[in-house]
Structure 1
Amino acid sequence: MTEPTASPFVALLCAVNVGGTGRLPMSDLRDLCASVGFGAVRTYIASGNVVFTARLGADGARTVLEDALREYAGKPVGALIRTPGELARVRDANPFAGAVPSRVGVTFLDAPPETDTAERAAGATGEQIALGAREIYVHYPDGMGRSRLRLPPSAGRATTRNMNTVTRLAALAAEAS
């Protein structure tokens, strides 16, 4: 029986290094990923983005990573896992491709967003919302930091990255393939 080959993945951690909470130095994240057997580990900016290879499927990699993060942090830390192809599709499906990339946010979800997500959002003042496969795209014409938009809570894990980050992670993931 042959051992499975390592596949590349991107992990997007939830609530890491946001607003002074959830501090996780990226060097610690790289070390943690290596310690659980992930290979070719690379992090990107200090918001909990890590590209790696694993001999597990996406669900297995998420479980191993979340277990290690729980032990490290002393509390649950959620992670969303995407393959290089999935991340490239998120980038390519951007419905606001003409907008400034730093003003387009992608909220990654465990499951497809509910069809009434845009209608249930609160505090919108010009933001545009579009639904993806397991993502919610938001164009923030005045910037994310000024927005009062609140998306309805998701049933599972959720974390947001701007389109600049999504594009860079897609490129790093493609290099790992």
Structure 2
Amino acid sequence: MPTHVALLRGINVGKGNRVAMADLRAAVESLGHTDVRTYINSGNVVFTSDEPDSVVLAEALEGRIAEAVGLTLTVLVLSRAEFAVAVGNNPYPDEPDPKKVHAVFRSSDMGDGDVAALAAAQERAAAKGSRDTGTVRGRVLYLHLPDGMGRSELAAQLGKLPKGTDGGGTARNWATVRKLEAMLDA
């Protein structure tokens, strides 16, 4: 049976959108998915399902989570193969600190306007002395933030851009990406 990862956007950040992982697992299981496992408290769920279509899975999860916990959240689902491609496309594999590389997963490829906005944001950040860089590969924006996310001028610039229908995607640091990869392969 195919294995997938669901990435929920914006839960358990600060005091808003609190979701207990036990409740999240129960919501996913209630749709008939099996081998449901969560990783840390930020909306990462690995599960198996007979449904191969990631979009269908994401829509069903969004609806069920809204019913179960009363929150309307963006959910992105990637198959094991899609996630493996995202891992393999990392343009910053030599960064030794996995917390300095982030993957922003999007529901669709970034268009030319999005890529141009990223380039402009990088230019503004560089003008302020930032060493941050971003690279788009398919549905994923990879960020290399040598001074960390909390001090990132590029992240601050990107936060000012229009978010689109998927809320601008959902970010995970590379340590989390690698853990999810291991869970998908377990």
Alpha-carbon displacement from aligned partner over 1:15-55 (angstroms, at most 9, x marks no partner): 01112211111111111111121111000111000000112
Contact 1:62 / 1:81 at 8 angstroms: preserved in 2? Answer: yes
Per the alignment, residue 112 of structure 1 pairs with 109
4+ aligned runs moved over 4 Å, structure 1:
none
Alignment CA distance shift 1:170-1:153 (3 Å): farther
Find out whether 1:49 has 2:49 as its counterpart: no
Alpha-carbon distance in 2 for matches of 1:117, 1:137: 15
2:138 is matched with which residue: 119, 125, 133?
133
Q: Percent identity?
A: 35
Per the alignment, residue 155 of structure 1 pairs with 164
| Structure 1 unaligned spans of 5+ | 1-5
- What is the TM-score of this pair, normalised by structure 2? 0.85
1:142 deviates by: 0.7
2:98 is matched with which residue: 92, 96, 101?
101
Alpha-carbon distance in 2 for matches of 1:153, 1:169: 28
Bigger mean CA deviation after superposition, 117-126 or 95-104: 117-126
- What is the TM-score of this pair, normalised by structure 1? 0.89
Q: How well do the aligned residues superpose, as a CA RMSD in angstroms?
A: 1.6
The residue identity in structure 1 corresponding to 2:120 is R
1:162 deviates by: 0.4
* Residue-pair matches, total: 170
| Structure 2 unaligned spans of 5+ | none
Structure richer in helix, relative to its length: 2
